[in-house]
Amino acid sequence: MLFNSFAFLLAFLPLALGLHWLAERFAPQWRLPVLAALSFAFYGYWDWRFVPLLAASILVNWLIAELFQKTRSGGLITLAIVLNLVVLALFKYFNFFADLAGMIPGLPAPKLDLALPLGISFFTFHHVMYLTDLRRGQAPRYDLLRYALYIAFFPQVLAGPLVRWREIMHQFEERPYQRPDAAERIARGLMLLTAGLAKKVLIGDPLAEYANPVFAAAAAGKVVTMAEAWQATLAFTFQIYFDFSGYTDMALGLALLFGIVLPQNFEIPYRALSIQDFWRRWHMTLSRFLRDYLYIALGGSKHGLPRQVWALFATMALGGLWHGAGLTYVAWGVAHGLALIVALFWRRAGWPMPKPLGWLLTFVFVALCWVLFRATSFEAAMAIYKGLFGLAPVGQGFKWRALLPAAAFAMLGPTAWALVHRLPPARWLAILAGILFVLVLLKIGDDSNYEFIYFQF
């Protein structure tokens, strides 16, 4: 049940809002159980066989947290984190490492035919954040219902944002429709949902038509011309932004409709003036997770330059692997790690970087790295790179009509979150949002929808 589907927009969402309103209005003690039931129903729509996995993941982690409260044994938390990572590795990485092992002559490489549960990377990281903070003495105890809702809350269970317990748990105790700004929140939630849908359906999906055929041709071993390579690279650069930031806007808007404020995840990343600035703006909740729970754990900047260089490299390499079980994802992460290391030495040397040059270098580097992220193999990526760097025929027919508005929206901003909070309440604005929503529905109806890119992670 995609957010950009009739099943969600015209069936599940109205029913969910109605049930939530009834509970909040007439039986407030049932509000959280209703939200939890709706979240499990939403998750089960994809494949009911994965619901027991999600439920067991929640129950086991909660029970270990309960036992930790009584024993204060840090080993229990370590055990829980290891178990979470083992389950993630089993479903997502077993065959990847089996393939690597198969490269060694004579070494058996068994395979497992397991479907990847949607959202497993995201709810695993939510467990890790809470358990780590619990061991640090920063997180309090929560009952099973609230912990289950923290992990499974349907707007963010599949592709984030990665929400820290302290950002959401206190909101479960509120009476959202009794707040003085309840109507304003609902209106802004609807506008965010509409804006996110428009970004995904009206901007992101058409760009896929520019990128997919070229990357498919590269995967098939065909020659990719310079025009095709730049078209596909720029198209995917903007497609992944509108696809993922559009999803995030929808998630934030949906959460507001149910009385929950989720953290923002994007801050006009293609306006970044350095690679560090890019990662402060792109997938911000993942960047925070990698910084606070991996980079700092590996030494961070507190133990000398060599340790910091290693921490940057390892963090980004593992961040690349988190995105997908493939060497191209690892290479993408390694490339970003090396860029961050170069930027670190540049800063320590005190060399200047003019802002226009910093922006250009950052954007070009990020776009070139997206080729590794999108390509199905190194051979396919190399075919694209040959075109980009003029080692293939020039070609013709560069498609630009969808690229120009996408570039303008992505680089000039503002973010949808900032926009809906700046605009004053007005009847004309409601009418405009309604028209936009209808246009999105008409576009959805032509069967040209694509799944969200980050659902595969």
204: nearest Cα among 252, 169, 168, 236? 236
Residue 20 annotated as catalytic = no
Do 252 and 419 form a contact (C-beta atoms < 8 A)?
no
Tokens encoding 6: 């009739």
Tokens encoding 425: 């309440």
DSSP class of 103: T
Residue 161, preceding bond cis, omega within 30 degrees? yes
The pair phi, psi for residue 194, each rounded to 5°, is -65, -45
Amino acid 37 reads A
Distance CA 371, CA 426 (A): 43
In Å, the largest CA–CA distance within the chain is 71
Distance CA 58, CA 124 (A): 10
Catalytic hit among 20, 283, 323, 336: 323
Token pair 């938390």 in the structure block, residue: 77
First and final CA of the chain: distance in angstroms? 17
Distance CA 145, CA 155 (A): 17
Give DSSP secondary structure letters for 401-453.
TTHHHHHHHHHH---HHHHHHHSPP-HHHHHHHHHHHHHHHHHHTTT-----G
**What are the catalytic residues?**
323
